[in-house]
Structure 1
Amino acid sequence: MRLNPVLDHFNQLDRDINRLLFSSLIRFDSSGLPVGDLAQSWSVSADGAVYSINMRTDAVWHDGTPVTTQDAIYTISLLQSQSTLIPANLQEFWSKISVNAISDSALEFSLPAAFAPFMDYLSFQILPAHLLGNLGVDQLVDHPFNLAPIGSGPYRFDSLETENGAITGVNLVSYEYYFKGKPFVDEIHFRYYPDEKSALDAYLEGGVDGLSKIRNDDLETVLNQTGLNLYSSRQPKLSIVFLNLRNANAPILQNPEFRKALMSGINRQMMIDDVLKGQGVLAQGPIMPGNWAYYPEQTAYRFDPDGARQILAGMGLTLAENGRFISDGSLIELNLLVPDDAEHQALAEILRQNWEKIGIGVTISALPYDQLIASLESRNYQMALVDIDLSDTPDPDPYQFWAESQVENGQNYSQWSNTTASSYLEQARQTSNLEMRTRLYRNFQVLFEEELPSLPLFYPVYNYAVKDSIKDLSFGPIYNPADRFNDVYKWYILTGVE
């Protein structure tokens, strides 16, 4: 355990607790729009390449020291380090950014070019320079600070719970001088369990008041508990079937009508109901529903196997005696790559059965995830069932997956080359005008719907539960499970009714 936000990128439990202990310049609301945390206001230069941030002057660390721009600059210097503990994409991004402190409360960020999604990168949590400022990332790894942190968030560290030398819990107390006001709940105690089932058993035995994650298998038990409220949100993870539009062995994938037939042949609700036990939200295009850029007027993808067969027949394809369609003299047989875990293989089997029923043959190849990604990167595949992880990216910019510039060496795994769509994406990441960006992303989504370069399936649902005596929990769409604590300082406990 390391209660240090620079070191928690690969540990969700630490990230959850750090959300209460530390503050960031910017946070995001449920629609993906930035809201100030330590930042009181901000502005963008006319050319979109300079961001000016004015920080609050009433924020103090848990030891009483004022939070200043030097704390932000120190934290950014850690993100710019070459340590393997910092995700490579963050290192690369921050290495190109110049940061200057105009005063103790004013920061200026200079970018090499206009980049509207920059606000995403200001959601990092800030460390105290006056305590750690002479230390690099590698020196922080085993530093005592990580087990007794000083933050500036709504709760301060109190103590650890241990058993047989292992940490079993973390105790936090409300911070009286938190800049948004002292939290109503005086103490929050985190308890660690080996798995979700053990945590649920602890709740049933009266040992805890909430559960950070509910397994789909445990939903019925949780829903049957009187006095326990279930909170749900779509996860920032898009399950999608990438189609390789340039695979020489599957040229039929280049035809938009064929791709639409594939989509019409998928019973996505069955996938959600049978495999995810109903815990999924149907996807419509590549931008998350609920996000400010999502265009709700898109035509919904309907399960219509009869319509799919009509589309295929309308393409001039002929049917063989076995009910399979023929293209260029051969039965259509496509290969689908899937991760080799049970859930993805069950989803893939539904896809195979659905497509068989509309006359398309499919073979499934299950691979370890790293091998599957390698196949995508080398463009050595026909179709692939994968999850796009959109965690911590509230800005809807889908450029990396669909722009022409990403076809050869980027993450445009479908190799979709649409100059107009790419132009919309390029313009949308260069302007900070929200109205203009909304229009550009709407236009992009319309083009995506028309050409359907890949097949968006669904977003899994994240569930957690809290006793109904704890009030004022707000839980909209999230971009990280820790987002459930965004307004924790507003929570209160109903102790009785007169």
Structure 2
Amino acid sequence: MKSMKVLTMILTISLIVTGCNINQKTSTSDQVAQSAINSELIHLTMVKPKTINPILNKDKSVGYVTNLIYDGLFTIDENYDVVPQLVEKYNVSSDGMSVNLKLKDAKWHDGTSVTASDVEYTIGLIQKNSDSPYNVFTQNISSVSVNGTNEVNLKFKDAYAFSIDTLIFPIVCKNQLNSFAEKDITEYKKNLVGNGPYKIAKYEERKGIILEVNKDYYDQLPENIKDIQVGVVPDEESQVSLVMALESDLANVSLDDLSKFYEKEFNITNYEGREYEYLIFNYNNKFLKDVNFRKAIAHSINKQKIQEEGYMDKATLVNFPLNSNSKYYDKSIKPLEYNKEQAKKYLEKVNLSSSEEVKKVNKNSSSSNSSSNEKIDNQKETIKKMILDLNLKIIVNKNNNERIKSAYIICENLKEIGIKSTVQELDDKEMDKALSSKDYDLACVGWELSLIPDASQIIENSGYNDEKLTNYMTSLTKSTSQSNKQEIYKSIQKYVRDNAAFISLVIKDDYIVKNRRLDGKITPNDFDVYDGIANLNIKNE
């Protein structure tokens, strides 16, 4: 199953409409804008949407808002684990080729029931729209069978360990959309009825949305849950400015903008994102084919320093390409720790018996009737000299400051154990060319982790490959038991560590800036940055 980037557009903003009460009859355009700090609503922003249909929308900022309006069969919690949402219970068949889902007694915002037919319609709509960001999540579904009003059975083309993890797309209302031509279902007037904790009370294309609490929501909501106003804004710069001006209460901001918010007016919530950073080896290099040489490199790298200086402590150290709080990430498996003496010991174990230089030494030793110990000593001296003559090429993208800092730290670390290296800073095209042509020895690279906890594509692209690891990965993707998946993943993580197949560095943090007038905890993740917004209270009421 290929890795997927769900809703990858940049967060953006424009003018915000503020302070209007949802029960007020006066039009929004006639009202005087007021600072969000005096409002009884929670204020958010989004880019002007091309559509608010959650299946067809591709903008991340709009998707975060539609997550408040529409629920899916499953959702992703703060640890990037999949948990039921509209699903009351489910059962995966023993062969992993199907799943039976029973829905909760949920209602659409017009009072009608959410049914199995809505699920069937939603999946069909996604599959018909190849440019839907959720399309990749439905590609393994071969058929959908409806059983009554609240039970649905999904059949899969192939058994896949993470089939349930793919069912995170929002469910749309068949009765609202089915009668319209596909070209018309992007219109906002066709998409005003959702099934989530907030419903659309008012929508103006150029102004924004008023979201009011869904009092008929199927799940329990906090007693003091607040209504929300979403303003439409032009760009990311405007978004940042509005939060700083206290015209918006919450925003997902970049590391570059974070320093602007260390003021008494704001709270910062950091959370583990999906930007995974790691070091890969070129296995065409005879030294890097040797596990002892790779382990020497792994033990030489001061990952703590990379975290602190390369990523300014704004990242989480990881040992494997999974979110560190995921149920599949095994924290009991410790990394090859930073230890220069241990690194040097592994260098002494490097065996290049198949190299021409060592073969030549062996031949000369044999012709001179040298003892076995002398032959071994000669080999070691030859390999030691070969290592001293090395100059490893470390490539890194010149447009990524964090990786550049990391590359130079790695270069300095290697020097401390007697390995010379040179950092080459390349632009995007040069980097792609060097990677594809294997014109490097080490490469500092990144990968956006999939929302599906399947690390197989990252491992495949690391360049490391052997039969045992392939068998592990095959067993993992076909596993249907939760405990079995965790056990296999543990074996994979240990195997990758023991063979230094690649070196995991960090997963970068993301940030939510919150106006201090809001009290309470949110639990954001990259799929849903507003998760927990229902728990927020307004201090100045």
TM bracket (short chain): 0.7 to 0.9
Partner residue of 1:322? Answer: none
CA distance in 1, matches of 2:168, 2:134: 15
Partner residue of 2:367? Answer: none
Partner residue of 2:394? Answer: 336
Contact 1:338 1:384 in 2 (8 A): yes
Contact 2:143 2:156 in 1 (8 A): yes
Partner residue of 2:511? Answer: 463
Mapping of residues 219-238 of structure 1, within 5 Å: 219=259, 221-226=260-265, 228-238=266-276
Per-residue deviation, 1:27: 1.4
Provide the aligned C-alpha RMSD in A: 3.1
CA distance in 2, matches of 1:197, 1:225: 21
Per-residue deviation, 1:487: 3.6
CA distance in 2, matches of 1:277, 1:196: 23
Deviations 1:368-406 (A, max 9, x none): 16x74576567665433222212422xx3322333xxxx
Per-residue deviation, 1:217: 4.9
Per-residue deviation, 1:468: 4.4
Deviations 1:178-220 (A, max 9, x none): 221456333212345566665444334332222322535534x
Residue aligned with 1:429, SS: helix
Structure 2 segments unaligned to the other structure (5+ residues): 1-48, 353-357, 359-382
Mapping of residues 289-368 of structure 1, within 5 Å: 289-315=324-350, 328=386, 331-343=389-401, 344-358=403-417, 359-368=419-428
CA distance in 1, matches of 2:441, 2:207: 47
CA distance in 2, matches of 1:350, 1:8: 41
TM-score using structure 2 length: 0.76
Contact 2:53 2:188 in 1 (8 A): no
Contact 1:174 1:182 in 2 (8 A): no
Given the alignment, which residue of 380, 383, 395 partners 2:442?
A: 383
Answer yes or no: is 1:438 the counterpart of 2:489.
no
Partner residue of 1:144? Answer: 188
CA distance in 2, matches of 1:316, 1:443: 26
Contact 2:161 2:485 in 1 (8 A): no
Contact 1:379 1:413 in 2 (8 A): no
Partner residue of 1:55? Answer: 103
CA distance in 2, matches of 1:327, 1:415: 27
1:261 alignment partner AA: A
Contact 1:377 1:413 in 2 (8 A): no
Residue aligned with 1:254, SS: coil
Given the alignment, which residue of 203, 208, 212 partners 1:173?
A: 212
CA distance in 2, matches of 1:78, 1:449: 42
Cα 1:251–1:79 change in 2 (3 A) is farther
CA distance in 1, matches of 2:342, 2:198: 56
- Higher Rg of the two aligned structures: 2
Residue aligned with 2:211, SS: strand
Residue aligned with 1:261, SS: helix
Cα 1:100–1:339 change in 2 (3 A) is farther
Partner residue of 1:22? Answer: 70
2:120 alignment partner AA: I
Contact 1:196 1:215 in 2 (8 A): no
Mapping of residues 99-498 of structure 1, within 5 Å: 99-134=144-179, 139-141=184-186, 143-145=187-189, 149-160=192-203, 167=206, 169-181=208-220, 184-191=224-231, 198-219=238-259, 221-226=260-265, 228-245=266-283, 247=284, 250-315=285-350, 328=386, 331-343=389-401, 344-358=403-417, 359-368=419-428, 372=431, 376=435, 382-393=441-452, 396-402=453-459, 412-475=460-523, 478=525, 480=526, 482-495=527-540
TM-score using structure 1 length: 0.82
Deviations 1:397-420 (A, max 9, x none): 322333xxxxxxxxx123322333
CA distance in 2, matches of 1:268, 1:137: 51
1:132 alignment partner AA: L
Residue aligned with 1:273, SS: helix
Aligned residue pairs total 460
Contact 1:335 1:365 in 2 (8 A): no
CA distance in 1, matches of 2:340, 2:183: 56
Per-residue deviation, 1:307: 3.7
Per-residue deviation, 1:259: 1.4
Cα 1:197–1:307 change in 2 (3 A) is farther
Answer yes or no: is 1:83 the counterpart of 2:148.
no
2:390 alignment partner AA: I
Cα 1:79–1:381 change in 2 (3 A) is farther
